[in-house]
Structure 1
């Protein structure tokens, strides 16, 4: 059979296929992330004046001048428990931080929980009724906000974060905002 042979079929190069697959995965990751953050506020952080677990008055205004981490967590949240080591490292690195115990019971219950977990270096306020969480648009925990030196929200994150990721965001807020 002369003349019946066709040209070989050209298949797309492997890297093109991988590039398309990577683009799909990244679109999914960023799409889910955007959906998770849809209720979180941006711009100027809502002011608050609360009493922490040690009886000290805590206000957002007192933290002006340096970037800070505002971290919402709950005692009933397994992801929050896994993330506690990362939060401890942020505090140990010297970054200002206020944590908010969201719907975790009264102050005494939260204190007992923190004692059981060996958490002693956090500035923690109790948001049992969820009012502060509502002001910040928090609908799930853990949720972290990085505020710049002027009290403007630089970064927001729903879900677990690593200590280096949080510290990098704080550093970025310090250097570039």
Structure 2
């Protein structure tokens, strides 16, 4: 019994080491999503700017769209905002915002001060749509094809490199495959 107790710390260290080693080299921005290849979840939420207007999954039909999950509480969302403004100006794709677990007034001030890259913004104060999308936090960006099918999920800041090397090719492929 004493021998077992001597080896117990070594056994625990080996088990922990195996788990840590398994995670090394994995890209945290490539979190798998169960929604890839599936329709955007059914939802009915209010518009951020027009609280009397309801928005639903029909927003994602007719053209390839980016769905950008953001919040004013998210420093990384501020980091990507200028890139979203540039993409919106270039009009290479429609961007719909999902204001996630945020305060409406804070979000409106944010867009007024920093600019509004979004065609419309879905207001999700309780995170219900975010939960259905499998959102871990913000920012996250989804590419949704013209049929409303989720084609890609990017976790983290959308910057120029991510746009050019990852998202734009996915968008172009979604456009080609109709």
TM-score scaled by length of structure 1: 0.72
- Alignment of 1:132 onto 2:149: no
- Structure 1, unaligned runs of 5 or more: 1-26
Aligned to 1:167: 168
Shift, 1:70, TM fit: 0.8
CA distance in 1, matches of 2:109, 2:102: 11
Shift, 1:33, TM fit: 4.0
Determine which of 64, 68, 73 is the counterpart of 1:67.
64
Determine which of 97, 106, 121 is the counterpart of 2:95.
97
Q: Looking at CA atoms only, which structure, 1 or 2, has the larger radius of gyration?
A: 1
Determine which of 45, 51, 56 is the counterpart of 1:50.
45
Contact kept? 1:90, 1:167, Cα under 8 Å: no
Moved over 4 A (4+): none
CA distance in 2, matches of 1:126, 1:78: 19
Contact kept? 2:100, 2:124, Cα under 8 Å: yes
- Structure 2, unaligned runs of 5 or more: 1-23
Alignment RMSD, CA only? Answer: 2.3
TM-score scaled by length of structure 2: 0.72
- Alignment of 1:143 onto 2:140: yes
Aligned to 1:41: 35
CA distance in 2, matches of 1:109, 1:136: 23
CA distance in 2, matches of 1:101, 1:54: 11
